[in-house]
């Protein structure tokens, strides 16, 4: 579960207890855990601090979606109540350390009648780990031009798609020759149950793909997601924050899948987000099923780029996403691909030689 803590600074919540360091109860509901994971506490004017952090199993640092969502929360706390988020653009600079809080310094760049602009710098130990700009707007009462790209019609309903946790359980219970280190990783993932359910479309096939880290190359990737429990709030800020949190999960993997790569095995040496953008088109609930329809147009020079569209279940496009990240092959995979490229080149030369003799 996420590492949780109360800050050393006093708040109204701990007036009666003094300065405390208390872990939240393990019986605390997923809804409350989710809201806590995207929340921040004000410690000074324009200065906020994380309430909790989470590092995925096997990751180098704090989950990027946590930092994006908490930055959004901090920025949103500095704008009038009639403003809503319509876009954010961010860069990940350093991996976040789960052992210390993240500080969020908000700059109020502009406050207009229709638009407000904020920048946020997230720091740990005095160093910037993340920077972002946020643009907020008021809702328009005017008659506006409106259209959106339709949701793919061939996507299975979420109830017919296996959740990631259930798929891992199935693998553990049915496959006997899983390497010990892979089995250990799967068991740790199950024990680290999170507040968002993800259901990847098209990955109910052969488990051997998961074990050897390879898959059939496909530049398209879709996943359903929603919170594990109903969110105990109707506040659009909460639901937008959860969508920001979840939007960082799986989008970079789209570029890996386009190259026939999957997590597991020994083919990927490193993957990490470099930047992340979201355009929020319409408020929606994060505890109803949402489809993240993703596509990767390009990967090169150790980086992959992916774009996504987030649809509500009724087919409305509610957000658009974009991300570029590091995708480095392991040394073994580099050697494997170098050997394959030489073999392919030899086949081309031999075919050309045979053709010239005709």
Which tokens hold the place of 259?
A: 């190259």
- Nearest CA to 335 out of 285, 277, 266, 281 is that of 266
273 annotated active-site = yes
Instruction: Report yes or no: 85 and 283 within 8 Å, Cβ to Cβ.
Output: no
19 annotated active-site = no
Cα-flanking dihedrals φ and ψ of residue 317, to 5°?
-75, 115
The one catalytic residue among 52, 135, 247, 273: 273
248 annotated active-site = yes
The one catalytic residue among 248, 287, 296, 299: 248
Which tokens hold the place of 40?
A: 């921040």
- Nearest CA to 113 out of 88, 136, 134, 132 is that of 136
Write down the H helix ranges in the chain: 30-37, 64-76, 164-174, 180-191, 208-212, 236-247, 253-258, 331-356
Instruction: Report yes or no: 311 and 332 within 8 Å, Cβ to Cβ.
Output: no
Name the DSSP letter for residue 154.
T
Which residues belong to the active site? 248, 273, 323
């Amino acid at each position: 579960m996420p590492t949780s803590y109360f800050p050393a600074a006093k708040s109204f919540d701990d007036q009666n207890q003094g300065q405390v360091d208390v872990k939240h109860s393990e019986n605390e509901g997923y809804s409350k855990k989710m809201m806590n994971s995207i929340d921040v506490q004000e410690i000074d004017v324009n200065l906020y601090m994380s309430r909790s952090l989470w590092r995925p199993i096997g990751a180098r640092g704090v989950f990027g979606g946590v930092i994006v969502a908490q930055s959004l929360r901090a920025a949103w706390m500095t704008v009038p109540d009639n403003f809503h988020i319509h876009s954010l653009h961010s860069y990940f600079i350093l991996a976040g350390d789960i052992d210390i809080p993240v500080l969020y310094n908000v700059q109020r760049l502009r406050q207009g009648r229709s638009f407000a602009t904020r920048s946020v710098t997230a720091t740990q130990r005095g160093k910037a780990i993340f920077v972002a700009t946020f643009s907020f707007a008021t809702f328009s009462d005017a008659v506006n031009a409106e259209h959106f790209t339709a949701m793919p019609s061939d996507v299975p309903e979420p109830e017919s798609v296996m959740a990631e946790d259930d798929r891992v359980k199935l693998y553990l219970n049915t496959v006997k020759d899983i390497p010990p280190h892979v089995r250990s990783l799967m068991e740790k993932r199950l024990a680290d149950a999170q507040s968002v359910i993800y259901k990847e479309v098209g990955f109910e096939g052969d488990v051997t793909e998961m074990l050897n880290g390879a898959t059939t190359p496909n530049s398209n990737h879709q996943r359903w997601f929603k919170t594990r429990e109903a969110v105990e709030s109707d506040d659009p800020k909460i639901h937008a924050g959860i969508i920001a949190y979840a939007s960082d999960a799986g989008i970079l993997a789209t570029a890996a899948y386009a190259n026939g790569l999957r997590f597991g095995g020994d083919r990927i040496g490193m993957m990490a987000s470099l930047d992340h953008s979201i355009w929020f088109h319409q408020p929606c609930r994060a505890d109803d099923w949402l489809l993240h329809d993703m596509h990767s147009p390009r990967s090169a020079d150790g980086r992959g780029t992916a774009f996504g569209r987030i649809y509500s279940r009724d087919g409305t496009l509610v957000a658009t996403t974009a991300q570029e990240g590091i995708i480095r092959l392991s040394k073994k995979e580099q050697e494997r691909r170098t050997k394959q490229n030489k073999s392919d080149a030899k086949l081309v030369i031999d075919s050309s030689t045979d053709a010239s003799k005709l």
